[in-house]
Amino acid sequence: MVIGLSSILAASNEPPNATPQDVFDGMRQSFQAQKAKGVHLKYQWQLSGPQGGEWWIEVNDGTYKMGKGKIPDPNVTFIAKDKDWVAICHDQLSGTWAYLTGRLKVRGDQGVARKLGEMFP
């Protein structure tokens, strides 16, 4: 189960009408390289809706790459509507509640999903 996902996923300081791209742009600024030492993980997002799309992050021993599209063999995939993802990242929607009600799906290891928040607080 996802616990405290809203604190796990980095939220940029964007206004409430922010897009998923704004959220990912904000994550770039919050990366903590020391928390990613020895980490080799791939994250995928599949967001539906008018501002939706696919994004990915690959963490590799203290560095990361981020982009739009698909990444092969992700360790964790987050699936949600664009507006729900933005709301989770801005603490306007509880990540746990979104998960429990099916508005957020997490495919893969929950511990790996939580690790994202340590690297992108």
**DSSP category for residue 35:** G
Report the distance separating Cα 25 and Cα 37, nearest Å.
Answer: 22
Report the b/e string of 35-59 with b at 16+ CB within 10 A. ebeebebbbbbbbeeebbeebbbbb
User: At 117, is the pLDDT very low, low, confident or very high (cuts 50, 70, 90)?
Assistant: confident
pLDDT in tens, 53-100: 999 999 999 999 999 999 999 999 999 999 999 998 888 999 889 999
Q: Which domains does the chain have, with CATH numbers?
A: 5-119 (3.30.1050.10)
Identify how many contiguous H helices and E strands the chain contains and give both numbers: 5, 5
